[in-house]
Structure 1
């Protein structure tokens, strides 16, 4: 017969519980009772110490998690605030060049053109450094609805759904479309 199937009065755990409650069997000495109480107190104190240690560890873990969350939130905030810093630094010389060009009096058309071309080179360089990429589909290229926006469709000798003309360049920032290219698309040959 197992301990679970024994009557309640014969189970060993009931004897310990009875002793702990002070209802031990008649004839037990006060010394046995006191030693049992001392053992139970020691076990209780050990369990309380272990629970306090676990609680302290929980509080530390929560504090660490909160610190990590705050740091991550600060990093995101700084990224939003200063994310365009590199791009802005690249554009400052372009603005300086434009202002210098406007400050010049009595410019020749050739001199003005050279200045505009130099400024455009600065701007293209700023775009390249900051991974701002042009979308300028050539005539005959397949229409891509993810990067192109069709303004109209015209009958053409070109196959249907190909670019006939680019009206305005588009731009990507890395792989994300900033502005789609505005294009005229071929409707195919009309018979």
Structure 2
């Protein structure tokens, strides 16, 4: 029995057109999925490369920081070597007069102070200045005729400042009222 119904041919044609459209949509969707998967793989690879680069930078920074810590005092110590050599050669001298020994020690002290100054350290020597509690520590008050009260009349121990920051206050005696 053959179906000669004109409506069933139309339905079959519509069905095959719908199947063709569905197949085309499916193919387009599959192509889009493949495109998105490729894009996703590319993005994942980029993220992994960036992550590896960041990790390498972190390691380099850590290594550089460690090197900087280990050798931070290299310049200072290099500048101190002549002072060290001067002290050693002064100690190696057998005999000699007190004046030349004293001069050698004075030169060595000057060299040491120069190195300290090169690295931002300065002495606080307040002799004759008014007492500054921020930089001086008064350990005694003494009679000092001719000096204004509160004036530093003797320095028991010099103070030191590093780049405007007090390392050690000067120990001083001041004039009484």
TM-score range, shorter chain: 0.7 to 0.9
How many angstroms apart in 1 are the aligned matches of 2:50 and 2:131?
56
Which of these residues, 138, 149, 157, is aligned with residue 158 of structure 1? 149
Q: In the alignment, is residue 93 of structure 1 matched against residue 55 of structure 2?
A: no
1:117 aligns with 2:102: no
Unmatched 5+ stretches in structure 1: 1-25
What TM-score comes out, normalization by structure 1 length?
Answer: 0.68
* Contact kept in structure 2, 1:150 and 1:185, CA below 8 Å: no
Separation in 1, partners of 2:48, 2:37: 16
2:70 equivalent in structure 1:
81
> Scaled by the length of structure 2, what TM-score is found?
0.73
Count of matched residue pairs: 159
State the match for 2:8 in structure 1.
none
CA shift, 1:104, in A, is 1.0
Structure 1 residue 32 displacement after superposition: 1.2
Q: Which runs of 4+ in 1 moved over 6 A?
A: none
Contact in 2 for aligned 1:143/1:163 (Cα 8 Å): no
CA RMSD of aligned residues (A): 2.8
2:7 counterpart of 1:38? no
> Which is richer in helix?
2
Gaps of 5+ in 2: 1-13
